[in-house]
Amino acid sequence: MFSVQLNENNIVVGVMSFPPQVPNQIAVQEFDDSLLGKQYINGQFTEVSAHDESNPD
């Protein structure tokens, strides 16, 4: 099992080769570094626009 780490805006900031160990980590099926920088919303990873990154509200 693998996991990704999310920041305070639910944006992926890390991909790990171990199961989730803290609340801001979630399980994923495979080690996929293409998830870095994507936002996790309602169970799905979505692209984040430049506007969203600079203005998270």
Nearest to residue 39, comparing CAs of 7, 16, 1?
7
Low-confidence ranges of the chain (pLDDT < 50): none
Q: How many domains are contained in the chain?
A: 1
> Is residue 9 in some structural domain?
yes
Contacts of 37 (CB under 8 A, 6+ apart): 11, 12, 48
Q: What is the pLDDT of residue 41?
A: 96
Nearest to residue 25, comparing CAs of 35, 57, 56?
35
> Is residue 14 in some structural domain?
yes
> Is residue 56 in some structural domain?
no
Q: What is the dihedral of CA 9, 17, 45, 52, to 10 degrees?
A: 30
> Is residue 29 in some structural domain?
yes
Q: What is the pLDDT of residue 53?
A: 53
